[in-house]
Structures are given as C-alpha cells and as structure tokens.
Structure 1
Amino acid sequence: MPNACDFSRDINTIANIDAVPLILKMVKHITGMRFAAVARVTDTRWVACAVDDSINFGLKPGGELVLQTTICHEIRQHRQPVIFTHASEHPFYSRHPTAKKYALESYVSIPIIRSNEDFFGTLCAIDVVPALFDEISVSQTLALFAQLIAVQLDVQDAFMSKEMALLNAIETGSLREQFIAVLGHDLRSPLSAIRMSADLLEAKLTDHRERTLTSAIRKSSQRMSALIEDVLDFSRGKLGGGIPVKLALHDDLDSIFIAVINEITASHPGIVINQIVSISSRVFCDGSRMGQLLSNLLGNAVTHGARDHPIQVMAMTEEDHLILSVTNQGPCIPESLLPLLFEPFTRSSEAGRGEGLGLGLYIASEIVKGHRGTLSVTSTPETGTCFVARFPIS
C-alpha cells in the first residue's frame, strides 16, 4: 500500500475526536455490518483515518485502497449516500466492479462535508454477507453521525488556527478575537441540532448499549457547547468591555451554589467536596454568573487538585461583603506564575490532566470584575491552592 504520511494530519485529527470510536461502534450495531470506517477521500487517494474491523478486512488507520476501486470515488463526485443490503440481488450493484472485487454484499457510505462545502471523505460500513435494516432510517442516522464528525473537524481546525494565531505578532490580536466571536456564534446552531438529534435518538432507543453510546455522543456535544460558551464569553470580555452581568437582588444564592456543587460532584464521582454555604443576606448580583463563577473555580480545582484530598468550598457573608473561596490540595503553583493564572489561554504545566482552553479562570475574574469585586489566589504546600472572591453585597 502507498505511504499515507501525507495524510497524517487528517488521521491525527480524526483520532483526537473522542466520539469517533463510539460512532463506528454505533454504525456497526445499527447496520449489523462488521466493518466501519472514517475515510479521507481526495481526487487521487482513499485513506482510512479510523477503523472498527470485525471481519479482518485488513485496513488500519493510515491504510489505503486504490481510489478507483472504491465507491467512495463516485460519492465524492455526486455527494450522495450509497446504500445496498444485498449486492448479488441488486439490479445495479450486482454488476458493480467494487462489489465484485471486495466480495461485498452489504454497504453503506455517507459523505462527510465540511461547513465550507469541502468534501472530507466518508463514514462507511461494509460486510461480505447481506444485511437487514431499514435503509431510510439508517441513512438519516448515519447522516447525523457524519454531520457530527464534520462539526468536530471544523472545531478542531478552528482551535488549531486560533492557537497558531496566538503565536503571531501582537497586532493580530484584535482580528483573532473577532474570529473567535464569529466562530463561537456560527458553531452553536449545528451543535444544537446535533444535541437535539442525539436526545431524540436516545429517547427512541430501547437497547441499553445503544442508549449508552448515544448518551456518550450527547455528552461530547455538551462539552463542546461548554467550550464554545467559554469562547463567546472570552470574545465578549475582550471586544465588549467585559463579560456582561445582569444585577438583581437574590435571596437564593445558597441554593445556586449548592446546585453547582452537586452537579460537579455528580459528574466527578471520585471527587469529595466539603462545603460551608451560609449566606445570611440578600445579595445584589447576577445569579447565573455567580453559579458560573463557582463552577469555573471548582472545575479548575477538580482538574488540577490532588484526587485523594477533598476540595473545600466556603460561601458566606461578612459585614457588607460576600466571600466565596475554593481550596484544593495538589502541586504548589510557583509565585511567579500566580499573576498569569487569570490571563486567557493559560493552563498549569504541572497538572497533566488539564482540559479545555485555559479560559475558566479568565472568565471567573471577568465575572468578579463585573460585580465590582476582587479575585485573589494563594498557593503553598501547607494550605494548598486557594481562590478567594470578595464582592459587595449591595
């Protein structure tokens, strides 16, 4: 087989999409076929980027087929799905050279088309025995999976472009921030469609394994949504003079904070959070943003803190101020790095479990500024790392 090193970037990009292995398993399960793949298809080459093979077809990521021997070559031209369940009884595909060459009886291939209308390749499944499924339903479901892959490709490309832009001269900063704002806005619509479709699909499925896989896809899209919201908050903060807050009197801030703590605990079962939440006064604030503030601080503590030590959360009123603190044990942050923690795209190099874009603490600091408060951090081996937010109550 020809060397596929020229396609290493595409292979790595697909490998970095967490949902792809789940999608391939779902494709096999829904169709009943035993081979599924994501293929990069150009005008000269067919290269496998991800493979789930139970029939020993012989392809691995980076493996190639001669383009002209594939039906994907035709799909690249007409950009329409191709499905058949029993080639030897099909009026057209019983004579098709690809079906004959690879002894295919069942076949599904859905085009993966990027948002800029570029043809990336196909999401496909094959088997050497006939398959039994509803072609319309399978076509619609696999088209949804192909759309999810396309959106993830766009997101990864956009973030890669953004990171490269950060290395450019400082005068490109304004253009970069405008690009991020447009990117976040444009990605929300297709992502919302994917999340709603995953919800509908999960509601219709009865098989536990199918529901588990669909739930994983939905959770991946939710995480993408959270990243996009962080990007939008970043762009609002940079381009609009700060993250907007809607101030109102709240007497339920206790319940807002406790709900956030419960949500973090539920999503990270191995984490212990000790809490002291006692807010005796009504607070003039943006309740939603205050919940986001605590969520970001807790998310940082979960990511960078020691797993065998509990996280401490305290929220209470003191005279005419509200004080919120989050403390975790773990690697001590060098004093020289402390002032940089609230800068965008900054992540601790010691943690090794870091996820996200490095915007959480920046957004937290912007929320605090919007409430005319202060956010400080200390980090010592004895007391751990402690973030303290302090706000005027009224």
Structure 2
Amino acid sequence: MTSPQFSLDIEAIRSIDAVPVILSMVKHLTGMRFAAVARVTEQNWVACAVDDSIEFGLKPGGELVLESTICHEIRQHRSPVIFGHASTHPVFSRHHTPKTYGLESYISIPIIKANGDFFGTLCAIDSVPANLDEPAIAQTLTLFAQLIAMSLDTQRRLEATKAELKSVNELGRLREQFIAVLGHDLRTPLSAIRMSADLLETKTEDKRSLSLIGAIRNSSTRMGVLIENVLDFARGRLGGGIPIQRKLVDDLERTLRLTFEEVQASNPHANIVHSLDVPKGVYCDSLRISQLLSNLLGNAVTHGSTATPIILTARSENDEIVLSVTNQGPPIAPDLMPLLFEPFSRSEAGQRGEGLGLGLYIAAQIATAHNGTLSVSSTITTGTCFVARFPARFKWL
C-alpha cells in the first residue's frame, strides 16, 4: 500500500492536466515505449504517472527498489542521465540497472522545484536501442520537467492560500457568531435593568434618587442602541445583508418626525433644525429608515459643533426620497473617508468616541437594502453632509 505521503505526491501529479500529454510527447520524441514521472526520495522510488506500451508492469503508486535504479544517483548530482544503447555504452554496459531491467535505452531528467527541493524525475525506458543523440531531445524533456516542477509549485502555493483563506473565513464566522450570541444574550439583563429602573421610579420621590434612576435609564437606552447595532451587524454579515420588510407607507414623514423628536429629547443640548416634506405611498421599511435617520442624527450630535445647528431635511426628488443631515465642525480627514461606511472604522482610523463605529455602516446597509445609496461630503466651508437616497416606489407599483 502506498504511504499517505506518496499518495499526496501521486495526487499532485495526477491533478496536473498536462502530464499525460507530456508523457505521450516524451514517447513520441524519443521513440521509446515507456515514460513516467517518479517521486524519488532518499529511500524510495515511486511511480506517480505512467504511460506504458511495453507492459513493464508499473502503475501509479508502484515502487522500485531505489538502489536498483539510476534515479538515486540523479538525486545526488541533479543532472540528466541519457544513453541510447546500453550494451555498447562505455559506462552503462557495466551498470546494474540496465542489466536488472533489461534496458537498452534510458533517459531521466531531474524535477527540481523553485525552492531547490528535488521532487523526482521525468524518465523514459525501453528494451531496444533509441537514437537520443539529438540535443533537442534533452532540451525538450528538460523543459517538460521544469513545467512539471512549476505546476507543483503553483499547486503548493494554491493549497497554502486555500488553507489560509479557510482559516480566516472560519475565524470570521466564529467571531460573527459570537457577536450575534453575545448581542442576543445581553438583551435579557438589559431588560431587567430597565424594568428595575421603572419600578424604582414609582417607589421614590427623592430628587437625587430620581436623578440616578434617570441616568440608569439613559445608559440602558444607549446600551440598547449598541446591542441592536451589534445584532444588525451580525445579521448583515452572516445573512448577506441587513433584512428589511418593505411595504407601502403613508406616514413615513410622521415616522421621521418621531425619530427626530426622540434624538432631540435624548440630546437636549443639540440644536436640530428640520424640514420634512415626504409624500404618502413610499415603498420602504419605515422602521429601518427611522434607524438610518437616527444613526445619522446621532453621528451628527456626537461629532458636530454645538455652536451651530444640525440641519435635517427629508424630501422627494425625481422619484426618490432624499434624507440629508448636515453638521458643522472639523471636516472628516481624507484618509478616513474610504473607511467611513466600514464596520469598526473609528478604531481603525484611530478615532475616539462613543459606540463601536457601526452606526454609519448599518445606515449604509439599510440604504443599500432599499436599492439606494448613502454618500458623504465634508469641507470646512459647507460642513459634513450625509445624504441617503432611495427609490420612492418600485416602477411596477
């Protein structure tokens, strides 16, 4: 039975589509009736591919005693061995290999990989003499051996790349599953915190205690937003995108107004100026659009200047719904712009601030899920402006 080590070598040679053609060409060029690719180590000679017209008896996986061959010598000096008439040759007429196997003609070319490792030989044999004096024969077979070596190197690099990619993909899958489970399991204790805060509020009138309860409620609200962002991120990565449920919505403007009011109530120090003019009959997931707007407004509150208002507009334009949020403050650094809609981009860009850097990523994914876009411009004079666009309705509606 062929050892597992040589099974891999045999499979590697078998997977090179050119090998059968090469062996056929070797026979045609030399006039010899047996050609093979052999794996040659310090202890073994193993046939990996064979084209046999003389019934020599070797098949892939078959072995010869290494010392009975010339290949162990070729492995040492790494030079071709060629003779066309052993019985008249000054050296090989006395060599044991031709006598052992009844050979008259023989050619063997070393197969050496790019890193210098000796793989084996490309060889041909026959029991009758052959005219091998033509230099083009040795040159051509040397090129064939080099082609086999290059193919083996390519296979090795490909297998290494596949293994690395598999490891990276598996690590990413486990990481994202961990995030999803973690986000889900955090909901239960967070709900308990909120319920406890509500209960405590009904049991006390002490101003200091009510202030602490309010702080607990606000913190739990922010934690809830973070958890939802983490879950959306995990759903998007594991499921091929953030899921949405579109339907005809007649009160999208009201939904956007409530979203603005919630953000304003949570950030009383922010000055948000809004202009909302959205038609009825918009085909969308209104809750997801609300989430998109909330993320954009939250980003503007966090990073915008408190000295100037945040400007929110929502309107229809050329059969599209257009939401824009503009804030003043330092412009976004050019090197951060390509990362802005990528998850965790804040940490990658060395930015500090609240959150995980998922808000803009999720907003962009929501826009994409609506067949729309989310873009940004940022200059000193005009400020930072995020613009989300998506079709108001599908054409067939």
TM-score by length of 2: 0.54
1:356-375 correspondence runs (5 A): 356-375=355-374
Asked if 1:387 corresponds to 2:386, the answer is: yes
> Does the CA-based 8 Å contact 1:256-1:291 persist in structure 2?
yes
Q: Which amino acid aligns with 2:200?
A: L
Q: Deviations over 1:33-78 (max 9, x none)?
A: xxxxxxxxxxxxxxxxxxxxxxxxxxxxxxxxxxxxxxxxxxxxxx
Taking structure 1 as reference, are residues 235 and 387 closer, same or farther at Cα in structure 2, changes over 3 Å only?
Answer: same
Q: Distance in 2 between matches of 1:349 and 1:198?
A: 36
> Percent identity over the alignment?
60
Asked if 1:233 corresponds to 2:232, the answer is: yes
Q: Distance in 2 between matches of 1:356 and 1:193?
A: 22
Q: Which amino acid aligns with 2:190?
A: L
> Does the CA-based 8 Å contact 1:304-1:353 persist in structure 2?
no
Taking structure 1 as reference, are residues 373 and 218 closer, same or farther at Cα in structure 2, changes over 3 Å only?
Answer: same
Q: Deviations over 1:277-311 (max 9, x none)?
A: 11134210011111110000000111111111111
Q: Which amino acid aligns with 1:325?
A: S
Q: Deviations over 1:76-116 (max 9, x none)?
A: xxxxxxxxxxxxxxxxxxxxxxxxxxxxxxxxxxxxxxxxx
Asked if 1:209 corresponds to 2:208, the answer is: yes
CA RMSD, Structure 1 to Structure 2 (Å): 2.0
Larger radius of gyration: 2
4+ residue runs over 3 A deviation: 168-171, 348-353
Alignment gaps of 5+ in structure 2: 1-166
User: In the alignment, which residue of structure 2 is the partner of 1:332?
Assistant: 331
Q: Which amino acid aligns with 1:216?
A: A
User: In the alignment, which residue of structure 2 is the partner of 1:287?
Assistant: 286
User: In the alignment, which residue of structure 1 is the partner of 2:246?
Assistant: 247
User: In the alignment, which residue of structure 2 is the partner of 1:308?
Assistant: 307
> Does the CA-based 8 Å contact 1:198-1:217 persist in structure 2?
yes
1:18-37 correspondence runs (5 A): none
Alignment gaps of 5+ in structure 1: 1-167
User: In the alignment, which residue of structure 2 is the partner of 1:298?
Assistant: 297
> Does the CA-based 8 Å contact 1:304-1:351 persist in structure 2?
no
User: In the alignment, which residue of structure 2 is the partner of 1:274?
Assistant: 273
Taking structure 1 as reference, are residues 312 and 266 closer, same or farther at Cα in structure 2, changes over 3 Å only?
Answer: same
Q: Deviations over 1:340-364 (max 9, x none)?
A: 1000011289997620111000010
Q: Distance in 2 between matches of 1:380 and 1:350?
A: 19
User: In the alignment, which residue of structure 1 is the partner of 2:109?
Assistant: none
> Does the CA-based 8 Å contact 2:374-2:389 persist in structure 1?
yes
Q: Which SS does the other structure have where 1:336 is aligned?
A: coil
Q: Deviations over 1:217-236 (max 9, x none)?
A: 22222221211111101100
Q: Distance in 2 between matches of 1:265 and 1:353?
A: 23
Q: Deviations over 1:97-146 (max 9, x none)?
A: xxxxxxxxxxxxxxxxxxxxxxxxxxxxxxxxxxxxxxxxxxxxxxxxxx
Q: Which amino acid aligns with 2:363?
A: A
> Does the CA-based 8 Å contact 2:248-2:282 persist in structure 1?
yes
Q: Which amino acid aligns with 2:313?
A: M
Q: Which amino acid aligns with 1:187?
A: L
Q: Which SS does the other structure have where 2:293 is aligned?
A: helix
Q: Which SS does the other structure have where 1:270 is aligned?
A: coil
Aligned length: 227
Taking structure 1 as reference, are residues 352 and 177 closer, same or farther at Cα in structure 2, changes over 3 Å only?
Answer: closer
TM-score by length of 1: 0.55
Q: Deviations over 1:328-382 (max 9, x none)?
A: 1111113332121000011289997620111000010111111111111111111
Q: Which SS does the other structure have where 1:308 is aligned?
A: coil
Q: Which SS does the other structure have where 2:258 is aligned?
A: helix
User: In the alignment, which residue of structure 1 is the partner of 2:178?
Assistant: 179
